Amino acid sequence: MQKIHAPLQAQVVQWLAQAGDVVAAGDVLVILEAMKMEHEIRSPHAGRLAELYFQPGETVGEGEVLLTLAPVSEGLASPASAPPPAHEAVAGAERGDLKKLQGRLAFTQDAQRPEAVAKRHAQGLRMARENIADLCDEGSFVEYGALAVAAQSRRRSADDLMRNTPADGMVTGIGCVNGQRVVVMAYDFTVLAGTQGMRNHQKTDRMLGVALQNKLPVVLFAEGGGGRPGDVDVAIVAGLNLATFASFARLNGRVPVVGVVAGRCFAGNAALLGCCDVIIATRDSNIGMGGPAMVEGGGLGVFKPEQIGPSDVQHGNGVIDVLVETEAQAVSAARQYVSVFQGAVRAWQAPPAEALRHVVPENRLRVYDTRAALQGLADEGSLMHLRTGFGVGIHTALARIAGRPVGMLANNPLHLGGAIDADAADKAARFMQLCNAHGLPIVSLVDTPGFMVGPDTEATAQVRHVSRMFVAAAHLRVPLLSVVLRKGYGLGAMAMTGGGFHETLSTVAWPTGEFGGMGLEGAVRLGYRKELEALPEGPEREALFEQLLAQQYDNGSAIHMAATLEIDAVIDPATTRDWLVAGLEAGQVRPLDGTLAIDTW
């Protein structure tokens, strides 16, 4: 005979077996209730109920005997095959609460809105969830806030909102890219034109907090029309006390943030986009701080959406960093961008080293494309150019060298002979900030006659713009390695090397390198003006000029610069990667001291 004790003080609700009944191990014998919660008391083994000590409604104290269980003979009938009590679930049976949830979640899926999907696809565009599925590793996306609907219950039915405003027009959650977690937020243009509703603002704020607290990169699909005036469930006047924009901006310099746009992106959506480190957009995109309605409302004219901030304009002025043809390409670029900040990789392929020997022509007056040098130094398939339509005097790119992520700068001799103008300086300074904030070493390829000069240039505020390069470089916490490909002249060359040739972890030159405090032709004309003017114009003066110039070239040669220790070495171009790898292995990224902001420009 075994006594069964009450595990807690409770009220007896119901006996599910009576005295004399044979029970099996695990059968529920009695239901107790305490603090509005029901507790099942089960049989520890097969047996016969010998005696029950409490009636329904009575209170049993903790440890008191509830019943006694007598042993039964083997082969005695067992009620195991009898139907369970009405309250007890059958294994494998469909639960009502789960069925209700599944039915509700179905309305968050694109399959429930075939017309919207068909219209979207007819425009050559994807659904928000399609982009997320392409961005994230298969099966890794976990959605937050899927059951939200627009805050418009005072003007629309619950069924209407469930069917036509799923997720309140914004899909948010956490997924994996290359096995590492990222926060993903995607406005859904098929829901109220991707506008910013009160609830999707709440969802945005929630995800931004998760990203900041857990240091997760953020990918924002920003297509949409800005603020939404139709959300009447929330008592607001102007809604200017929202935290979303401050919260999004607070991520700057703390985690990588990339924005992706296809189609139209106006007003509040564009404001968030503008806070991103990098913007990837398709050819058919339009980006503007105000859409047609806002422009017209301001008395500024009537325009079609396609006339406001088209991609060719926004790429040329530097708003768009990476311009692609399709959303699929945009998502691929976003994956590549995020991957740069995920650390080194083991599998990589080096390009042919000998090709670097032929990048710079032997004729020192012949122009060439420094992008060939970038391509020849980066691991195969890793080079990602940024801001290609703007500041074309300097190339900026993300890449890997021997699997290690780096940022790469290179002067562009095809534009102004490689002279650095205001736009190029802005582009380079901001790129240094980007690399510095996220801990990427920088490789700088130098071929510049210096900063651009002249009355027209100074009218562009050149003095302030080019000096940004010195300030940005002075605050670097990441290693900077410089390779002078050809011209290393004046302040421009110093700006490309962190403020001076010895401010870098290493400064080396190819044999084609030539150096001077300024352009050598100008240096001869200024430094030897008296000697030149002492001779009559003509062959004699020209011969003296060429003789003095040759002396300057010889004095400023890469070999002479290395001999006087102004640079660290002259190297065979084919060994450049070896030099860079050694530097990347030796250099240290200093700990972050506070927050390192990245200019939006």
Q: What is the pLDDT of residues 212-254, one digit of tens each?
A: 999 999 999 999 998 888 888 777 767 788 899 999 999 999 9
Confidence of residue 82 (pLDDT cuts 50, 70, 90): very low
DSSP designation for 92: T
Q: What are the tokens at 515?
A: 């150096």
Give the chain's radius of gyration (CA, Å): 35
Q: What is the mean pLDDT of the chain?
A: 92
Secondary structure (DSSP) of 161-199: HHHHSGGGGEEEEEEEETTEEEEEEEE-TTTGGG-B-HH
Sequence-ordered list of residues with C-beta below 8 angstroms from that of 332, at least 6 positions apart, any chain: none
Q: What are the tokens at 530?
A: 């008296």
The answer, yes or no, to whether residue 148 has pLDDT greater than 50, is yes
Q: Give the separation between CA 200 and CA 206, rounded to whole angstroms.
A: 10
Tens digit of pLDDT for each residue in 462-491?
999 999 999 999 999 999 999 999 999 999
332 close to 552: Cβ distance less than 8 angstroms: no
pLDDT at position 191 is 94
Mean pLDDT on 413-432: 97
Tens digit of pLDDT for each residue in 162-177?
998 999 999 999 999 9
Q: What percent of the chain has pLDDT over 70?
A: 96
Mean pLDDT on 395-405: 98
The answer, yes or no, to whether residue 131 has pLDDT greater than 60, is yes
User: Could you tell me the pTM of the whole model?
Assistant: 0.87
Tens digit of pLDDT for each residue in 319-375?
999 999 999 999 999 999 999 999 999 999 999 999 999 999 999 889 999 999 999
pLDDT at position 92 is 66
The Cα diameter of the chain in Å comes to: 133
Secondary structure (DSSP) of 519-568: -HHHHHHHHTHHHHHTS-TTHHHHHHHHHHHHHHHHHTBHHHHHHTTSSS
pLDDT at position 38 is 94
Query: How many Cα atoms sit within 13 Å of 521 on the Cβ side?
Result: 4
Query: How many Cα atoms sit within 13 Å of 398 on the Cβ side?
Result: 26
Q: Which of 376, 385, 415 is nearest to 510 (CA)?
A: 376
Tens digit of pLDDT for each residue in 87-108?
455 566 788 889 999 988 988 9
Mean pLDDT on 565-584: 97
Q: Which of 430, 429, 421 is nearest to 391 (CA)?
A: 421
pLDDT at position 589 is 93
Secondary structure (DSSP) of 244-312: HHHHHHHTTTTS-EEEEE-SEEEHHHHHHHHTSSEEEEETT-EEESS-HHHHHHTTS----GGGSSBHH
Q: Give the separation between CA 50 and CA 41, rounded to whole angstroms.
A: 16
Q: Which of 272, 264, 267 is nearest to 297 (CA)?
A: 267
pLDDT at position 238 is 73
Mean pLDDT on 38-62: 93
Sequence-ordered list of residues with C-beta below 8 angstroms from that of 453, at least 6 positions apart, any chain: 462
H or E element at residue 404: strand 404-411
pLDDT at position 90 is 59
Mean pLDDT on 278-296: 93
Mean pLDDT on 409-434: 97
Burial of 151 (0-12, 13-18, 19+ CB in 10 A): buried
